[in-house]
Structure 1
């Protein structure tokens, strides 16, 4: 029986190894291009949320009176709106075009939620209680938070959880999740990109500067992730880093992303 199990283990390992080698260079590049597009989409949502949050915090008239916020796209514009505490109306609306730092429009007149905002609010309210299910293994290390990003996906929704921190000198890779929900907000699938939080230091204790960052992925996540790209694009401008790389044990390659060029290059081990 032990011999049979040993053979089965070797056989399965051979199958997995064979699967690892099935991607051609063209297929890998196509996959990387798709991930880059998703990473930039995710970044546009989070960047708008960051900027709108900073602007709202500076406004003494509404700061302290707001509840949740919602971020969504309308054509080439990303909007972030802040609801009042009982979530019955919008107190502030900030619009950004093409990831610009300055708003293209700021509206501080209280109004009712439109249909898109009502739908997003309901999806959010349905999803959040499900995330406490132990089967998802969601954790929030001290000093960090998880940001919720909801993106329409055909008739369903992609729901990302990506880490954030106010600590300086750290890029919070890892501890990121993707959930797919149906049109009502019920989770139908989930994925964890990294096994843990990977707090990447951007400066050294002796005062030196980190110029390159690399981390490794799970074999079940063979490619650089959209969350990797989004997180780096958010934090890299606060550092001296222009690029980072991911090593894929499953593919035996490195994938290097440069945020200024918005490119992903593939390199061998």
Structure 2
């Protein structure tokens, strides 16, 4: 039953959408050998970790969207702003700070409370002195993209340079992970690809980097005049799993803008077996289904 289900599902979805893409890590450019699939328990643990980090990235990006929209709503003087960042306070509470680092004070600040049942924010345009941890994070947010472009700019390959978004996430082990996402202003499409991450230490030295997809696609959400109920793209062997950037952009565009609730990635990275990994937004679950590859 699983085989028939996968074959039928893949044929239907691939007819609507197929993006052939792969990821690169470091400077490796050659395709790796086929991998041995992890145990079901290990596979699910990997998916759970990807989902958690992807939803964190989505939160950073979503708050940036909402906070930036509020600048116009409250007629904030943008000329005073030279850095901005999201800060997690815990208990589903976040702050988004627009600041002037030269004066070491806030310009505009929003406090968000996020939950499944209700979401609200409180704004403040009254300047206050920045706290030391805020200054550190704001400086890192401003410096990290410059450092990455200087050291790795030749390795960043993009379809175009419009709609680029940088998100800096502090790591529990120390240092930061800087994400580069490619968004879109076009209506009725979901951007997939042109996405990177860079791990940096606290001194802003680039320790490692990753390219998640080889190409860029703005996937239409309609086909033959009908809305697509589920979106899928394909990863070649250099991308074994769903990616955190897939989670973030599917949530931002596919779910939040167009109310699509299921997103899938077909991976052919594993020997003799392909996997269909599906992100079910309603269940908030990322699961993989075995789809055996027929030999001819």
Asked if TM exceeds 0.5, the reply is yes
Give the drift of 1:88. 4.2
- The answer to whether residue 274 in structure 2 is matched with residue 257 in structure 1 is no
- The answer to whether residue 203 in structure 2 is matched with residue 198 in structure 1 is no
- CA gap of 1:63–1:214, structure 2 versus 1, over 3 A, is same
1:165 corresponds in structure 2 to 184
**Structure 1 residue corresponding to 2:62, chosen from 39, 44, 47:** 47
Give the drift of 1:212. 1.8
2:241 corresponds in structure 1 to 223
For 1:1-269, list aligned pairs within 5 A.
Answer: 16-17=33-34, 20-62=35-77, 65-76=80-91, 77-84=93-100, 88-98=104-114, 102-132=119-149, 133-139=152-158, 141=160, 144-153=162-171, 154-204=173-223, 206-235=224-253, 236-251=255-270, 252-269=274-291
Distance in 1 (CA, whole Å) between partners of 2:257 and 2:278 is: 19
Give the drift of 1:50. 1.2
Contact 2:190 2:249 in 1 (8 A): yes
Give the drift of 1:38. 0.8
What number of residue pairs does the alignment pair up? 253
Give the drift of 1:170. 1.2
Contact 1:90 1:113 in 2 (8 A): yes
Give the drift of 1:140. 5.6
Q: Normalising by structure 1, what TM-score?
A: 0.85
Q: Which runs of 5+ in 2 are unaligned?
A: 1-29, 292-296
Q: Which structure's relative contact order is higher, taking Cα pairs within 8 Å and 6+ residues apart?
A: 2
Contact 1:89 1:110 in 2 (8 A): yes
Contact 1:44 1:99 in 2 (8 A): no
Contact 2:83 2:141 in 1 (8 A): no
Distance in 2 (CA, whole Å) between partners of 1:72 and 1:266 is: 33
Q: Normalising by structure 2, what TM-score?
A: 0.77
Give the drift of 1:163. 1.6
Contact 2:279 2:285 in 1 (8 A): yes
Distance in 1 (CA, whole Å) between partners of 2:141 and 2:267 is: 33
Residue by residue over 1:132-166, the C-alpha shift from the partner in whole angstroms, topping out at 9 and shown as x without a partner, is 23443242626x42211111111111111112222
Give the drift of 1:94. 0.8
Say which is worse superposed, 28-37 or 145-154, in terms of deviation. Answer: 145-154
Q: Which runs of 5+ in 1 are unaligned?
A: 1-11
Distance in 1 (CA, whole Å) between partners of 2:106 and 2:159 is: 29
Secondary structure of the corresponding residue to residue 238 of structure 1: coil
RMSD: 2.4
Give the drift of 1:98. 2.7
Contact 1:193 1:218 in 2 (8 A): no
Contact 1:40 1:230 in 2 (8 A): yes
Say which is worse superposed, 35-44 or 206-215, in terms of deviation. Answer: 206-215
